[in-house]
Amino acid sequence: MTHSPAATPGGTLVLDSEGLAKAVLRDRTVTAWLALARADDLRVITSAATLVEVVHPRINRPALEWTLSRIVVEPVTEPFARHAAALLADAGLHGHKYAIDAMLSAIALAAPGPVTILTSDPEDIIALCGARATVIKI
């Protein structure tokens, strides 16, 4: 089967801050997931808020920019923020500790499925997304 350039992706791979950081470092596990996503025509995304967690003075900027050129960085819009707040309320969570995970989760849940989220914090992401996404600890 051939894919047309305008083909709809077969799902979405989502990187949290650890996933993005490991992609920048070319971690073997994350690199394998990215290769699988490319082979399976999956869309690879993260949230703009995740960049705030990842960027620091010692990060390899060229590697970061190269990685970001290969993924979609979704903006945190008001509808996503409202959905994130609802996810937090539904999970009985609140506060800054969960805010960026909630924004990422809202963006992930709006993405074409099936959705797989690579995260260092599976418990919080599962609490926010439930069974609507596959959560993989990295």
Say if residues 105 and 125 touch (Cβ distance below 8 Å): yes
Task: Assign 48 to helix, strand or coil.
Answer: helix
**Average pLDDT score, the chain:** 93
Question: Structure pTM?
Answer: 0.91
Q: Mean pLDDT, to the nearest integer, of 53-69?
A: 95
Give the confidence band of 64 by pLDDT, cuts at 50, 70, 90: very high
Q: In b/e form, how buried is each residue of 70-104, taking b as 16+ CB within 10 angstroms? A: ebeebebeeebeebbeebbeebebeeeebbbbbbb
Question: Looking at residue 9, what is its pLDDT?
Answer: 55
End-to-end Cα, the chain, rounded Å? 32
Tell me the backbone φ, ψ of residue 115, rounded to 5 degrees.
Answer: -110, 130
Q: pLDDT, tens digit, for every residue of 3-46?
A: 434 444 579 999 999 999 999 999 999 999 999 999 999 999 99
Tokens 């989220």 correspond to: 117
Q: pLDDT, tens digit, for every residue of 67-88?
A: 999 999 999 999 999 999 999 9
Q: Which domains, ranges and CATH numbers included, belong to the chain?
A: 17-120+128-137 (3.40.50.1010)
